[in-house]
Structure 1
Amino acid sequence: MEFTKENMRFYIFMRGKLGESAKLILETLQTVCGDCACCYQSVCSWVKEFNEGKESLSDCPRPGRPKSCVNDRAIASIKKDIDEDHHISVRELSDTIGLSYGTVHTIITEHLRMKKVMKLGVLPHPAYSPDLAPCDFWLFPTLKDRLAGRKFDRIQDLAKAVNSELRAIPEEDVFRKCRSG
């Protein structure tokens, strides 16, 4: 059985009502819970509160900033904003949602597992296309430029023109462009 904070507080409550010292209660908690036991100051504080009449095992809410603003609502809001505008910046998101830049960045990178490379979103897999080799980024535009303005009535004519234009490109150019990326 795992000891929760409430379990430990109940144990502190019962042992404190029996008149045991905070030090003895802590030693017993450390024997049972090991490293998961609360600290001496917490035991003293709870013994004092229970002796003053507190009966609730829950901790009172404290003023100030919460420990973490990362919650399901914040994650969903950021995901929705990114889906609506893929070019939105982390700064714009933080201003819109009211969270710090670091918190928004953490949600994007760790919770949503998104990243940007050279200001372009990186998809986990190609959208609807096969993987393209670097030389394809040079070869296709070159071929398009060479065939620009020509009309083909049949698919066979287009295939012949593409083949002849591809053969007309010097082999050294293809390898040089592919190597240079």
Structure 2
Amino acid sequence: MTKENFRFYIKVRTALNIPARIIYDELCPVCGDQAHALRTVEWWSKLFREGREDAEDEERLGRSITETTSENIEQVRSLINDNPHITIQEMEVQTGLSHGTIHRI
């Protein structure tokens, strides 16, 4: 079950004035390990009671989660091929990528 399906179920049950704890108790036997935590069900139930309509994630500001693109990998590979002794700090400056991203690449 997708997270949007979970949220839609929470939305409908909340609209029927079913408490979050009951919704959680209904989801657990059906979804097992895939069920959201009670706190998550409570959070979404609250959002829907306050008027939220959409069950999908809202766009978030900030850096994209996916920085290990093929372009970035090739850029780091090229730097290493040009200078096998280049440091991660030097690559950070030249690429604008974070230390962690370069290390993962």
Is this contact kept in 1: 2:28–2:35, CA < 8 A?
yes
CA distance in 1, matches of 2:6, 2:75: 36
Superposition pairs of residues 1-181 of structure 1, within 5 angstroms? 3-62=1-60, 68=65, 70-72=67-69, 73-83=71-81, 85-87=82-84, 88-107=86-105
Q: Any unmatched runs of 5+ in structure 2?
A: none
Shift of 1:11: 1.0
The 1-side partners of 2:40 and 2:72 are apart by: 31
Q: What code does the residue aligned with 1:22 have?
A: A
In the alignment of these two chains, the number of paired residues is: 103
How far the C-alpha of 1:75 sits from its partner, in A, is 2.7
Where 2:54 maps in the other structure, the secondary structure is: coil
Q: Distance in 1 between matches of 2:68 and 2:45?
A: 33
Q: How far apart in 1 are the matches of 2:67 and 2:28? A: 31
Q: How many angstroms apart in 1 are the aligned matches of 2:59 and 2:31?
A: 25
Higher helix proportion (structure 1 or 2): 2
Question: Contact (CA 8 Å) 1:69, 1:99: kept in 2 or not?
Answer: no
* Structure 1 length-normalised TM: 0.48
**Amino acid paired to 2:75:** S
Give the % identical residues.
Answer: 40
Gaps of 5+ in 1: 108-181
Q: Following the alignment from structure 1 to structure 2, what is the Cα–Cα distance between the partners of residues 15 and 42?
A: 15
Letter in 2 for 1:29: L
TM-score by length of 2: 0.77
SS in 1 for 2:9: helix
Of 55-64 and 45-54, more deviation after overlay is shown by: 55-64
